[in-house]
Amino acid sequence: MTDFVWDKAVWEHGEYVVTVRPDWEKSWRSIPIGHTMSSKDAEMVAKWLRSSCGDLRRLFYNESKDEQDA
């Protein structure tokens, strides 16, 4: 199972975004998600996503399973 690397990156001067990539991918191939925010907020969101990734994965898996069973 692939793990994801959640981080923050500078978008423009003073603005940051949360980024995500599979753990096997190079860091410069990270994908920005969401909207721009402060450095502190981007770090907080990335930290929350790192800690919640397992729960989110289960949620998406269960949702997709329910759609297939319907």
Burial 43-70 (b: 16+ CB within 10 A, else e): eebbeebeeeeeeeeeeeeeeeeeeeee
User: Which helix or strand (DSSP H or E) is residue 6 part of?
Assistant: strand 4-12
What tokens appear for 16 in the block?
A: 């940051």
Residue 54, pLDDT score: 86
Residue 64, pLDDT score: 79
Average pLDDT value over all residues in the chain: 90
